[in-house]
Amino acid sequence: MNIAVFVSGRGSNLQAILDAEYLKGIINVTAIFSDKKECRAFNIAEKHRIPAFTIGKGASEIDYEEAARLLEEQKVELIVLAGYLKLLPVFFVEKFIGKIINIHPALLPKFGGKGMYGMNVHKAVFNSHSEVSGPTVHFVDTSYDTGRIIAQKEIDITSASSPEEVAEIVLKEEHKLLPFVIWKFALGEIKINDNQIIIEK
């Protein structure tokens, strides 16, 4: 299954996808997209000889229409947002509805929505004195973090003494959950019915 990954920064989730042994031969990352001209995730893409594109208005950049055409040409079946901070345009979400997933570093629907990204999320979780946190993988719709939840992993964070420690605990779990959901998607084992999403064993 061909997948594309949208990134905005470090690319550790992209690295986790590329490192997942059980995904080798199952998926093929055919393109990386970012709103940034430069980011560490692009260095990862270069090392793996994966074409990388910046979405923007600059000379060497492409717009969402061109990105959509490329994704269709590459027969991409799953678009993974891994730290992508921009809201996708409505036409794009509708064109690929049911094929775009996002990983959020908290247990949605709590601690999500506009402005809730990166350390903002972990600060809010830490300051709320929650005893648990963890990653959520969800389908993407036309607003921040509101798409249907596919999978979550709840982790005890009572040992964390700062938002940074919460971030570290959650990120480790993100690197397991996201490849797992991609794997299940590739196997066709994510079933969507009216009131729930089931991941078949």
| Interface of this chain with ligand GRF, residues 115 to 174, rule: CB under 6 A | 171, 174
Residue of the chain from 4, 7, 151, 157 that contacts ligand GRF (CB under 6 A): 7
Residue of the chain from 5, 11, 53, 190 that contacts ligand GRF (CB under 6 A): 11
Please tell me whether residue 112 binds ligand GRF under the rule CB under 6 A: no
Active-site residue 48, yes or no? no
Question: CA of 28: how far to CAs of 51, 154, 177, in Å?
Answer: 12, 29, 18
Residue of the chain from 3, 5, 6, 12 that contacts ligand GRF (CB under 6 A): 12
Among the listed residues 33, 20, 58, the one whose alpha carbon sits nearest the alpha carbon of residue 11: 33
Q: Is 113 left (phi over 0), alpha (psi -120 to 50) or beta?
A: left
Cα–Cα distance, 5 to 33 (Å, whole number) = 6
CB of 51 to ligand GRF, least distance (A): 18
Half-sphere exposure (CA, 13 Å, Cβ side) for 188?
A: 0
Please tell me whether residue 103 binds ligand GRF under the rule CB under 6 A: yes
Please tell me whether residue 26 binds ligand GRF under the rule CB under 6 A: no
Q: Tell me the residue type at 109.
A: P
**Nearer Cβ to ligand GRF (83/179):** 83
Count other C-beta atoms under 10 Å from residue 141's C-beta: 18
CB of 41 to ligand GRF, least distance (A): 6
Q: Phi, psi at residue 155, to the nearest 5°?
A: -125, 140
Could you list the residues that contact ligand GRF (CB under 6 A)? 7, 9-13, 41, 82-83, 103-105, 171, 174
